[in-house]
Amino acid sequence: MKLYKEKDYRILSIDDEEKYIQIRDSELTGKRFGRVNKFREYPKAARHFEHLFPNNYLDIVELKDSEAIKTMCTEYQKKLDTNPNEQEMLNFINENEYYILIASIFKFYNFGHHEAYLFKEFPLAGAHRVDYLLVGKGSGGYEFIFIELEHPSDNAFLSTTADYAQSYRKGINQVNDWRRTLEVHFNNMSIEFNKAIKTNQSLPNEFYLNDSSRRHYIVIAGRRAHYRCSSEKAYEIRRNEERTSGIKILHYDNLIDYTLELIGKDSF
């Protein structure tokens, strides 16, 4: 579940710690009351280290790097255009650490602005495993977004009726399996979260309470072109799915749009 290959952010190097302490001390310089927040000036490792899950933290400072985000979207688009399957897309995102593409989904929710984390291939119970799990904090505490990736290249809608084709049907069935599993085994997740937590920290209550109102579900499949085949019906089906089942249906091209919207933002 650790996101980043090169570093364990639960441990600060001597150099990073010295820089971190220096900047922290400067936050009080010349202040009679309070502290000047210089979080964005901390070393990258320290920004991660400050958070509940250092190796799964999504760094808001990266949102200011417009060129890196544009390059990420361009490379992602090129990969999609090779007609990959879902495992190839999962591998592509993970190997390149293009996690902002997944984090862009926070745009639909009112949490993730105070803290944002991503877990990949998160185990639930038994054989159930989530492709991606976003965890975000808002004013109401922590909430969870469970994300299923399905085939990006197969047509997502039946050509004759514009109903869901196999990729979306499979993803929705998977989400419904997760729901049933979580109702019974939600507390099992705390075991995995505790493996990732910062040393000497404890999980907040939201990670133990079986509160289905804090859980949200996304299925990603197909391409924008699949919607154009029968646009009005396809978008109607997508809206109806969210209204009736609470499952949000996206296609892979959506992630490009949402990621580009993040450029220059202060939070996810």
Q: Mind listing the pLDDT tens digit for each residue in 191-249? A: 999 999 999 999 999 999 999 999 999 999 998 888 776 667 778 888 888 899 999 99
- Answer for the pair 103, 79: CB distance below 8 angstroms, yes or no: no
Residue-averaged pLDDT of the chain: 92
Q: Mind listing the pLDDT tens digit for each residue in 75-90? A: 999 999 999 999 999 9
Q: Would the CA dihedral through 204, 210, 214, 217 be positive or negative? A: positive
pLDDT number for residue 235: 80
Give the mean model confidence (pLDDT) for residues 2-11. 92
DSSP 68-97: HHHHHHHHHHHHHTT---HHHHHHHHHHHT
109 vs 127: which has the higher pLDDT:
109
DSSP 7-34: --TTS--HHHHHHHHHHHHHTTTT-SSS
Tell me which residue of 22, 16, 94 sits closest to 56, measured CA to CA: 94
Query: For the whole model, what pTM was predicted?
Result: 0.94
Give the mean model confidence (pLDDT) for residues 122-131. 89
Listed range (42-46, 125-129, 159-163, 177-181) with the worst mean pLDDT = 159-163
pLDDT number for residue 30: 59
CA distance 59 to 61: 5
Give the mean model confidence (pLDDT) for residues 35-57. 94
258 vs 166: which has the higher pLDDT:
258
CA distance 227 to 173: 21
Give 3-state DSSP helix, strand, coil % of the chain, rounded to 5. Answer: 50, 15, 35
pLDDT more than 70, % of the chain: 95
pLDDT at residue 158 above 90?
no
225 vs 107: which has the higher pLDDT:
107
pLDDT number for residue 250: 94
- Answer for the pair 107, 261: CB distance below 8 angstroms, yes or no: yes
